[in-house]
Amino acid sequence: MRKILVGLSWGWLLVFALIPLLMLFVVSFFHRGVSEFFVVGFTLENYIRLFDPIYFTVFFKSVVLALVTTVFCLLLGYPFAYFMASYGKSARSYLMILVIIPFWTSSLIRTYATMLILRTNGLLNTILLKFGIISEPLEILYTEWAVYIGMVYTLLPFMILPLYSAVEKLDRQYLQAASDLGASPWQTFIRVTLPLTLPGIIAGSLLVFLPALGLFYIPDILGGAKSLVVGSFIKNQFLAARNWPFGAAISVFLCLMMGAGIWLYLWVKKRVSPEEARS
Protein backbone atom coordinates (compact mmCIF):
# COMPACT_ATOMS: atom_id res chain seq x y z
CA MET A 1 0.00 0.00 0.00
CA ARG A 2 2.75 2.34 0.99
CA LYS A 3 4.59 1.60 -2.24
CA ILE A 4 1.52 2.30 -4.36
CA LEU A 5 0.73 5.63 -2.70
CA VAL A 6 4.29 6.92 -2.64
CA GLY A 7 5.00 5.57 -6.13
CA LEU A 8 1.89 7.11 -7.66
CA SER A 9 2.40 10.55 -6.20
CA TRP A 10 6.15 10.70 -6.71
CA GLY A 11 5.89 9.21 -10.22
CA TRP A 12 3.34 11.73 -11.37
CA LEU A 13 5.10 14.73 -9.89
CA LEU A 14 8.41 13.55 -11.29
CA VAL A 15 7.16 13.18 -14.87
CA PHE A 16 4.79 16.12 -15.07
CA ALA A 17 6.32 18.67 -12.70
CA LEU A 18 10.00 18.14 -11.94
CA ILE A 19 11.17 16.95 -15.36
CA PRO A 20 9.31 19.66 -17.34
CA LEU A 21 10.66 22.39 -15.06
CA LEU A 22 14.19 20.99 -15.33
CA MET A 23 13.84 20.75 -19.10
CA LEU A 24 12.77 24.37 -19.22
CA PHE A 25 15.83 25.32 -17.19
CA VAL A 26 18.10 23.34 -19.55
CA VAL A 27 16.49 24.82 -22.67
CA SER A 28 17.23 28.31 -21.38
CA PHE A 29 20.93 27.62 -22.04
CA PHE A 30 20.40 26.34 -25.60
CA HIS A 31 20.82 28.19 -28.87
CA ARG A 32 17.96 29.45 -30.91
CA GLY A 33 16.98 27.16 -33.80
CA VAL A 34 15.97 28.24 -37.28
CA SER A 35 13.62 25.43 -38.24
CA GLU A 36 13.46 23.59 -34.93
CA PHE A 37 12.54 25.03 -31.55
CA PHE A 38 16.09 25.03 -30.16
CA VAL A 39 19.60 23.81 -30.93
CA VAL A 40 21.40 21.86 -28.21
CA GLY A 41 24.50 23.60 -26.91
CA PHE A 42 25.54 25.86 -24.06
CA THR A 43 25.23 29.61 -24.15
CA LEU A 44 24.53 32.42 -21.73
CA GLU A 45 23.37 34.78 -24.45
CA ASN A 46 19.69 34.34 -23.54
CA TYR A 47 20.40 35.63 -20.05
CA ILE A 48 22.62 38.43 -21.27
CA ARG A 49 19.86 39.52 -23.63
CA LEU A 50 17.52 39.95 -20.65
CA PHE A 51 19.49 42.99 -19.61
CA ASP A 52 18.96 44.65 -22.95
CA PRO A 53 17.04 47.88 -22.11
CA ILE A 54 14.14 46.90 -24.39
CA TYR A 55 13.48 43.68 -22.50
CA PHE A 56 14.38 45.09 -19.15
CA THR A 57 11.69 47.74 -19.57
CA VAL A 58 9.09 44.98 -19.94
CA PHE A 59 10.27 43.42 -16.70
CA PHE A 60 10.31 46.75 -14.94
CA LYS A 61 6.82 47.65 -16.16
CA SER A 62 5.45 44.26 -15.10
CA VAL A 63 6.91 44.62 -11.62
CA VAL A 64 5.47 48.14 -11.35
CA LEU A 65 2.08 46.86 -12.52
CA ALA A 66 2.16 44.03 -9.98
CA LEU A 67 3.31 46.38 -7.19
CA VAL A 68 0.69 49.05 -7.87
CA THR A 69 -1.97 46.32 -8.06
CA THR A 70 -0.78 44.96 -4.70
CA VAL A 71 -0.86 48.40 -3.06
CA PHE A 72 -4.37 49.14 -4.36
CA CYS A 73 -5.59 45.73 -3.21
CA LEU A 74 -4.09 46.34 0.22
CA LEU A 75 -5.62 49.82 0.54
CA LEU A 76 -9.04 48.59 -0.54
CA GLY A 77 -8.85 45.22 1.19
CA TYR A 78 -7.60 46.21 4.64
CA PRO A 79 -10.63 48.28 5.67
CA PHE A 80 -12.87 45.57 4.23
CA ALA A 81 -11.19 42.83 6.24
CA TYR A 82 -11.15 45.04 9.33
CA PHE A 83 -14.84 45.90 9.12
CA MET A 84 -15.72 42.32 8.22
CA ALA A 85 -14.02 40.98 11.34
CA SER A 86 -15.99 43.37 13.54
CA TYR A 87 -19.31 41.71 12.69
CA GLY A 88 -20.96 38.78 14.43
CA LYS A 89 -20.30 35.18 13.51
CA SER A 90 -23.16 34.61 11.07
CA ALA A 91 -22.69 37.93 9.25
CA ARG A 92 -18.98 37.17 8.91
CA SER A 93 -19.47 33.77 7.31
CA TYR A 94 -22.07 35.33 5.03
CA LEU A 95 -19.59 38.03 3.94
CA MET A 96 -16.93 35.37 3.53
CA ILE A 97 -19.05 33.46 0.99
CA LEU A 98 -19.70 36.71 -0.86
CA VAL A 99 -15.96 37.33 -1.16
CA ILE A 100 -15.25 33.76 -2.26
CA ILE A 101 -17.95 33.41 -4.96
CA PRO A 102 -16.23 35.67 -7.55
CA PHE A 103 -13.09 33.59 -7.03
CA TRP A 104 -15.02 30.49 -8.04
CA THR A 105 -16.34 32.00 -11.27
CA SER A 106 -14.30 32.24 -14.42
CA SER A 107 -11.95 35.21 -14.20
CA LEU A 108 -11.91 35.44 -17.99
CA ILE A 109 -15.66 35.91 -18.11
CA ARG A 110 -15.45 38.52 -15.38
CA THR A 111 -12.68 40.35 -17.20
CA TYR A 112 -14.81 40.39 -20.31
CA ALA A 113 -17.71 41.81 -18.28
CA THR A 114 -15.38 44.51 -16.92
CA MET A 115 -14.69 45.41 -20.54
CA LEU A 116 -18.42 45.87 -21.12
CA ILE A 117 -18.57 48.30 -18.19
CA LEU A 118 -15.49 50.33 -19.05
CA ARG A 119 -15.85 50.79 -22.80
CA THR A 120 -16.65 54.21 -24.23
CA ASN A 121 -20.38 53.55 -24.61
CA GLY A 122 -20.35 51.19 -21.61
CA LEU A 123 -22.29 51.29 -18.39
CA LEU A 124 -19.92 53.49 -16.40
CA ASN A 125 -19.93 56.27 -18.97
CA THR A 126 -23.66 55.96 -19.52
CA ILE A 127 -24.34 56.44 -15.81
CA LEU A 128 -21.84 59.26 -15.37
CA LEU A 129 -23.23 61.09 -18.42
CA LYS A 130 -26.85 60.66 -17.32
CA PHE A 131 -26.16 62.18 -13.94
CA GLY A 132 -24.19 64.99 -15.52
CA ILE A 133 -20.99 64.17 -13.62
CA ILE A 134 -19.01 64.26 -16.87
CA SER A 135 -19.87 65.85 -20.20
CA GLU A 136 -17.60 63.73 -22.40
CA PRO A 137 -17.33 59.93 -22.12
CA LEU A 138 -14.16 58.82 -20.36
CA GLU A 139 -11.72 56.79 -22.41
CA ILE A 140 -10.78 54.11 -19.89
CA LEU A 141 -10.72 50.89 -21.88
CA TYR A 142 -7.37 50.10 -23.50
CA THR A 143 -5.50 52.38 -21.08
CA GLU A 144 -3.40 51.54 -18.03
CA TRP A 145 -6.34 52.48 -15.82
CA ALA A 146 -8.42 49.66 -17.27
CA VAL A 147 -5.58 47.21 -16.62
CA TYR A 148 -5.28 48.35 -12.99
CA ILE A 149 -9.04 48.14 -12.46
CA GLY A 150 -9.15 44.66 -13.97
CA MET A 151 -6.17 43.38 -11.99
CA VAL A 152 -7.39 44.79 -8.66
CA TYR A 153 -10.84 43.44 -9.35
CA THR A 154 -9.58 39.92 -10.06
CA LEU A 155 -7.04 39.72 -7.26
CA LEU A 156 -8.79 41.58 -4.43
CA PRO A 157 -10.29 38.42 -2.85
CA PHE A 158 -6.77 36.96 -2.54
CA MET A 159 -5.85 39.98 -0.43
CA ILE A 160 -9.01 40.09 1.66
CA LEU A 161 -8.97 36.45 2.83
CA PRO A 162 -5.52 36.34 4.54
CA LEU A 163 -6.03 39.87 5.89
CA TYR A 164 -9.33 38.82 7.37
CA SER A 165 -7.88 35.78 9.10
CA ALA A 166 -5.11 37.99 10.55
CA VAL A 167 -7.52 40.65 11.79
CA GLU A 168 -9.86 38.01 13.17
CA LYS A 169 -7.05 36.49 15.27
CA LEU A 170 -6.22 39.91 16.69
CA ASP A 171 -6.78 39.98 20.43
CA ARG A 172 -9.08 42.96 20.97
CA GLN A 173 -7.85 43.29 24.55
CA TYR A 174 -4.60 44.71 23.22
CA LEU A 175 -6.55 47.50 21.51
CA GLN A 176 -8.45 48.13 24.71
CA ALA A 177 -5.19 48.24 26.65
CA ALA A 178 -3.68 50.71 24.19
CA SER A 179 -6.58 53.10 24.45
CA ASP A 180 -6.72 52.71 28.24
CA LEU A 181 -3.10 53.75 28.31
CA GLY A 182 -4.03 56.91 26.43
CA ALA A 183 -3.24 56.04 22.82
CA SER A 184 -5.37 57.79 20.21
CA PRO A 185 -7.23 55.51 17.78
CA TRP A 186 -4.66 56.39 15.10
CA GLN A 187 -1.74 55.55 17.42
CA THR A 188 -3.41 52.28 18.37
CA PHE A 189 -3.79 51.41 14.74
CA ILE A 190 -0.19 52.24 13.79
CA ARG A 191 1.50 50.84 16.90
CA VAL A 192 -0.67 47.82 17.72
CA THR A 193 -3.09 46.73 15.00
CA LEU A 194 -0.77 47.13 12.04
CA PRO A 195 2.22 45.22 13.49
CA LEU A 196 -0.01 42.42 14.75
CA THR A 197 -1.68 41.96 11.37
CA LEU A 198 1.58 42.22 9.45
CA PRO A 199 1.73 38.47 8.64
CA GLY A 200 -1.68 38.77 6.98
CA ILE A 201 -0.58 41.86 5.08
CA ILE A 202 2.50 40.09 3.76
CA ALA A 203 0.68 36.86 2.90
CA GLY A 204 -2.03 38.79 1.07
CA SER A 205 0.50 40.93 -0.77
CA LEU A 206 2.34 37.82 -1.92
CA LEU A 207 -0.87 36.14 -3.07
CA VAL A 208 -1.66 39.23 -5.14
CA PHE A 209 1.84 40.11 -6.31
CA LEU A 210 2.86 36.67 -7.62
CA PRO A 211 -0.14 36.02 -9.88
CA ALA A 212 -0.13 39.69 -10.94
CA LEU A 213 3.35 39.16 -12.39
CA GLY A 214 2.29 36.23 -14.54
CA LEU A 215 -1.29 37.03 -15.59
CA PHE A 216 -1.24 37.99 -19.22
CA TYR A 217 -4.81 37.92 -20.37
CA ILE A 218 -6.07 40.81 -18.26
CA PRO A 219 -3.56 43.35 -19.68
CA ASP A 220 -4.16 41.73 -23.07
CA ILE A 221 -7.93 42.20 -23.00
CA LEU A 222 -8.26 45.46 -21.07
CA GLY A 223 -5.05 47.21 -22.04
CA GLY A 224 -5.14 46.45 -25.73
CA ALA A 225 -1.96 45.86 -27.66
CA LYS A 226 -0.14 48.68 -25.88
CA SER A 227 0.63 46.94 -22.64
CA LEU A 228 3.24 44.23 -22.89
CA VAL A 229 3.79 42.41 -19.61
CA VAL A 230 6.26 39.68 -18.84
CA GLY A 231 3.58 36.97 -19.08
CA SER A 232 2.59 37.88 -22.62
CA PHE A 233 6.25 38.44 -23.41
CA ILE A 234 7.02 34.81 -22.55
CA LYS A 235 3.93 33.70 -24.44
CA ASN A 236 5.08 35.59 -27.54
CA GLN A 237 8.55 34.07 -27.42
CA PHE A 238 7.01 30.60 -27.44
CA LEU A 239 4.10 31.01 -29.82
CA ALA A 240 4.93 33.95 -32.10
CA ALA A 241 8.67 34.61 -32.15
CA ARG A 242 9.44 30.89 -31.73
CA ASN A 243 12.54 31.64 -29.68
CA TRP A 244 12.15 28.98 -27.03
CA PRO A 245 15.54 29.34 -25.33
CA PHE A 246 14.98 33.05 -24.76
CA GLY A 247 11.41 32.44 -23.57
CA ALA A 248 12.76 29.80 -21.17
CA ALA A 249 15.40 32.22 -19.87
CA ILE A 250 12.72 34.86 -19.18
CA SER A 251 10.70 32.23 -17.28
CA VAL A 252 13.69 31.20 -15.18
CA PHE A 253 14.34 34.85 -14.35
CA LEU A 254 10.68 35.35 -13.45
CA CYS A 255 10.81 32.34 -11.13
CA LEU A 256 13.96 33.67 -9.48
CA MET A 257 12.23 36.98 -8.83
CA MET A 258 9.23 35.21 -7.33
CA GLY A 259 11.50 32.97 -5.29
CA ALA A 260 13.15 36.08 -3.87
CA GLY A 261 9.71 37.43 -2.97
CA ILE A 262 8.76 34.21 -1.17
CA TRP A 263 12.09 34.08 0.64
CA LEU A 264 11.55 37.65 1.81
CA TYR A 265 8.10 36.68 3.06
CA LEU A 266 9.41 33.72 5.05
CA TRP A 267 12.20 35.85 6.45
CA VAL A 268 9.84 38.62 7.58
CA LYS A 269 7.40 36.06 8.97
CA LYS A 270 10.13 34.53 11.10
CA ARG A 271 11.02 37.95 12.45
CA VAL A 272 7.45 38.97 13.17
CA SER A 273 6.18 35.81 14.82
CA PRO A 274 9.03 33.47 15.71
CA GLU A 275 6.84 31.05 17.69
CA GLU A 276 4.45 30.58 14.80
CA ALA A 277 7.18 30.00 12.24
CA ARG A 278 8.77 27.34 14.39
CA SER A 279 5.63 25.29 14.87
Partner 1 sequence: MMELVRKAYLSFILLFLYAPILILIAYSFNSGTYSTEWEGFTLDWYKSLAKSSDLLEITFNSFLLAFLAATGATIVGTAAAIALKRYQFLGKKAMQGLLFALLMSPDVVMGIALLVLFVALRMDLGFFTLLLSHITFGIPFVIVTVMGRITSLDENLTQAASDLGASEFQTLHKVILPLLWPAVLSGWLLAFTLSMDDVIISFFVSGPDFEILPLRIYSMVRLGVKPEINALCTILFILTMAIVFTSRKLVGDEE
- Residues numbered 166-205 forming contacts with partner 1, rule: CB under 8 A: none
Least CB distance from residue 243 to partner 1, whole Å?
12
Candidates 40, 44, 48, 123; binder of partner 1 (CB under 8 A) is 123
Segment contacting partner 1 by CB under 8 A, of 174-182, 187-195, 246-254, 271-279: 246-254
Give least dist CB 216 to partner 1, A.
6
Site string for partner 1, 92-121 (x = CB under 8 A): ---x-xxxxxx-xxxxxxxxxxxxxx-x-x
DSSP code string of the chain: -HHHHHHHHHHHHIIIIIHHHHHHHHHTTSEEPSSSSEE-S--SHHHHHHTSHHHHHHHHHHHHHHHHHHHHHHHHHHHHHHHHHTS-HHHHHHHHHHHHHHHHS-HHHHHHHHHHHHSTTSHHHHHHHHTTS-SS----TTSHHHHHHHHHHHHHHHHHHHHHHHHHHS-HHHHHHHHHTT--HHHHIIIIIHHHTHHHHHHHHHHHHHHHHH--HHHHHHSGGG---HHHHHHHHHHTS--HHHHHHHHHHHHHHHHHHHHHHHHHHHHH-HHHHH-
Identify residues 24-83 at the interface with partner 1 (CB under 8 A): 24, 27, 37, 76, 79-80, 83
Among 58, 210, 227, 246, binds partner 1 (CB under 8 A): 210
Closer Cβ to partner 1, 114 or 205, answer by number? 114
Size of the site for partner 1 (CB under 8 A): 77
Return the residue of 58, 65, 156, 196 that touches partner 1, per CB under 8 A.
Answer: 156
